[in-house]
Structure 1
Amino acid sequence: MASIRIDVVSDVVCPWCYLGKARLELAVAEIQDDISAEIHWQPYQLNPDYPPEGVDHQKTLADKLGGAENVGRIHENLRALGREVGIVYDFEAIKIGPNTLDAHRLIHWAGIEGPEIQDAVVTALFRANFEEGRNVGDPAVLVGIAAAAGMGEKVIAALLASDADKDVVRQHIAAARHMGVSGVPFFIIDGKYAISGAQTPDVLADAFRQIAADKDGNRKDLN
């Protein structure tokens, strides 16, 4: 069976990233009989300058997007796309626009424990923000998500109270920007192929098949 590594550059407050995750899962399910996909989540911050306590999300978003009417149109489109893949966006429930550095630290630590735990944490963070209106910049929320995923509650609480791995996360974000990532989601396959945006499952699946076929052809040429 062919195998590929997929690094997903993402931010947990990006609605397109949540959509991209759901579409990625459908694409991976489509190719799973022939291709093994190992998924790793990489950090990106859309709003790195937000303070630790966050901002008034609704007001800040309206200011950024040219008013509540524009925000409503964008959200309605996202709701329709979300329904196609089982996401129930509740944009009105989001009160705090968080700084996501701590959320990315949690994702980093989850990745050390393994891909399945990391995936569970990423899913829970997206759901908490977009479907439950919870503040994913709040350490208590993050500790709860970690515990639900099987991570050590006291360990994560202590790590979040420290500066552990803040520089590591920032370095990963800087590396992504240096590669030319200016929007998310951004998919990097085997460290050399890139797909930008929340592409549909068929587009992603076709790309993964082509990359896997190219790898197989290169191996045969070497032999």
Structure 2
Amino acid sequence: MIDVPSITVDVVSDVVCPWCFIGQKRLDKAIEAVPEIAVEVHWRPYQLDPTIPPQGKDRKQYMLDKFGSEERIRQIHERIEPLGAAEGIAFDFGAIKVAPNTLDAHRVIRWAGTAGDGVQNRLVRRLFQLNFEEGANIGDHTVLVEAAREAGMDAAVVETLLPTDADRDTVMGEIGTAARMGITGVPCFLLQGKYAVMGAQDTATLADAIRQVAAAKARGELDPQPV
């Protein structure tokens, strides 16, 4: 039996971060470019703005408060849209009416990590699509439950857990851990828990990083060293 090289990639991201959506697409392509390596992806939480209330804020006003003018917002969107289009993303920023608090979305993503092979990846992709391409409010529990169902989760369990505090502290603790690690922007790709690739790097850069870390692991360079 041939031993297939394998590595883990932990993606620290927020589902309202357009660069994270671009990064997700590029990571998918990078993994396709290294079929000789088994890559296991885990999604880790980060909040661009944890101060947004649970019910969210009007996105237009939120963006104006943050960036100062409609012209500045338009420039930001015009910069991102063609980069997204190149990755197959149809950004529709005008359709987004609510700037959501993403804590509950991250709780569902965490639960998806134990729901079966590929479920977490499907859920994260769906949440990106809902927010950026369909303008859905991904802070809304109904939207989250339906996304969970589409990803292959037990929607009844998600519907029962969401109104509770289940895993709220755990997710907030993970977000705090990211901050203590020095992660101040997303996406951040942590390869084999040791090497960080910051930002929505191009596909070739991500694929090369995967190859290098897999090779280092195969040589035993990532094993704990004896004291």
Give the TM-score taking structure 1 as reference length.
Answer: 0.96
Residue matched to 1:65: 67
The answer to whether the aligner puts 1:109 opposite 2:111 as a matched pair is yes
Residue matched to 1:151: 153
The answer to whether the aligner puts 1:75 opposite 2:61 as a matched pair is no
| C-alpha distance in 2 between matches for 1:11 and 1:58 | 19
Residue matched to 1:198: 200
| C-alpha distance in 1 between matches for 2:162 and 2:210 | 36
Residue matched to 2:15: 12
| C-alpha distance in 2 between matches for 1:103 and 1:53 | 13
Residue matched to 2:5: 2
Q: RMSD between aligned alpha carbons?
A: 1.4
Higher helix share: 1
| Farther-moved stretch of structure 1 (79-88 vs 54-63) | 54-63
State the SS of the aligned residue for 2:113: helix
Contact 1:91 1:133 in 2 (8 A): yes
The answer to whether the aligner puts 1:186 opposite 2:192 as a matched pair is no
Q: In structure 2, which of residues 134, 137, 160 is the aligned counterpart of residue 132 of structure 1?
A: 134
| C-alpha distance in 2 between matches for 1:59 and 1:213 | 49
How far is 1:148 from its partner? 1.2
Q: In structure 1, which of residues 90, 93, 105 is the aligned counterpart of residue 92 of structure 2?
A: 90
| C-alpha distance in 1 between matches for 2:6 and 2:96 | 38
How far is 1:115 from its partner? 4.2
The percent identity for this pair of structures is 50
For 2:203, the aligned partner's letter is P
For 2:15, the aligned partner's letter is V
How far is 1:76 from its partner? 1.0
Please identify runs of 4+ aligned residues in structure 1 that moved more than 2 A.
none
Residue matched to 1:161: 163
Residue matched to 2:179: 177
How far is 1:63 from its partner? 2.0
| C-alpha distance in 2 between matches for 1:196 and 1:58 | 28
Give the TM-score taking structure 2 as reference length.
Answer: 0.94
